[in-house]
Amino acid sequence: MSQSHNDHKVRVGISVGDINGVGMEIIIRTLADNRILQDIVPVVYGNSKLASYYKKALNLPEFNFHSIQNASDAVRNKANLVNCWNDEVTFTPGEANSTGGKYAFISLEAAVKDLAGGKLDVLVTAPINKEVMQSDQFRFPGHTEYLASIAGVDEALMMMVAGDLRVGVLTGHIPLNQVSSQITKDRLQAVVKRMNQSLIRDFGIRRPRIAVLGLNPHAGENGLLGEEDKNIITPAIQSLRNEQLMVFGPYPADGFFGSGNFRNFDGVLAMYHDQGLAPFKSISFNEGVNFTAGLPVVRTSPDHGTAYDLAGKGTADETSFRNAIYLAKDVFLQRRFHKEITANPLQAQVRSERSERE
């Protein structure tokens, strides 16, 4: 499947996630709408029996995958399916077990291999159960850490995206009692720079405005409610501002989101998982996307988990997954555009002047 430089049909690899969760259902619902095939060439890594099982649960007899043996054989305007296993598997929707984890990893590993081999442009991952995924091959808290390891990146940044709302987390999938020990000036500065670069390269924002949240209630009240905000976070922000980055804070998280102040920024960095994701999901649940910034490849996923309580019932909402595909496509094209204009400064100047005239 060859593509010319100007061909905007992005090759999207899709891992099926936990086979007992809603992954295959939201994949089928998304691809059953043929309009999405105008922009992408989807390649799903799963199994034809898995697809048939959930297609029946969705009552979509007219939808069919195009089965292929290799991603290179993917056909345009088709929902392509690579068969990753031939085992006889018992599907138990709604049940967390080792079978779900085993085949989720087989799917993910195959998709990542083809992404690294240049057969795909981007990766979109359906939800996994992090506990049942654990094995000798997968000893990671989640997709983000696994992909960072494969890519040879010290630390990727989990960023939740819904329109202009982009929330990253300094510390991701770790216990809450370990958070404060992981907050250092050097780490905070590195992560803000990673977010800043992603906002420029992946989202086309020329001078990003980034808000940093405080760790303690009321951002520490000048040391009264904790020393981290005063002694670590504030000095890190000042150092970043000295480097001409537009970084502000630290802001108390409750007032920052409650007042709508988040709308004044291009990116928000939370100190820990729930501090950022709880308000994000309350604002945009079922529409947001999990984007892994800082990787050499583009990866997105829906902002929800396996949703075992909905699995097999045909009622799971595919909106977040659909948005994940579109965001992956948009970031891929934006990265390509950014590479072009930074490789030719004169071209960038001409484009900027033209934009200003318009």
CA distances from 14 to 169, 183, 195 (A): 25, 34, 25
Give me the pLDDT at residue 4, please. Answer: 42
Give me the pLDDT at residue 344, please. Answer: 67
Give me the pLDDT at residue 354, please. Answer: 61
Architecture in CATH of 157-291 = 3-Layer(aba) Sandwich (3.40)
Give me the pLDDT at residue 345, please. Answer: 63
Domain boundaries, the chain: 1-155+295-358, 157-291
Q: What tens digit of pLDDT does each residue of 56-66 get?
A: 999 998 999 99
Give me the pLDDT at residue 8, please. Answer: 63
Q: Supply the DSSP string of 255-296, one letter for each residue.
A: HHHHTTGGGG-SEEEEEEHHHHHHHHHHHHTTT-EEEEET-S
Architecture in CATH of 1-155+295-358 = 3-Layer(aba) Sandwich (3.40)
The answer for residues whose C-beta is within 8 angstroms of residue 263's C-beta and 6 or more apart is 164, 165
Q: What tens digit of pLDDT does each residue of 261-307 get?
A: 999 999 999 999 999 999 999 999 889 999 999 999 999 999 999 99
Ranges of residues in the chain whose predicted pLDDT is under 70: 1-8, 220, 344-358
Cis peptide upstream of residue 296 (ω within 30 degrees of 0): no
- Rounded to two decimals, the pTM is 0.89
> What whole-number distance in Å separates Cα of residue 72 and Cα of residue 351?
35
> What whole-number distance in Å separates Cα of residue 27 and Cα of residue 321?
7
Tell me, yes or no, if the two domains 1-155+295-358 and 157-291 fold the same way. Answer: yes
Give me the pLDDT at residue 6, please. Answer: 46
Q: Supply the DSSP string of 244-259, one letter for each residue.
A: T-EEEEEE-HHHHHHT
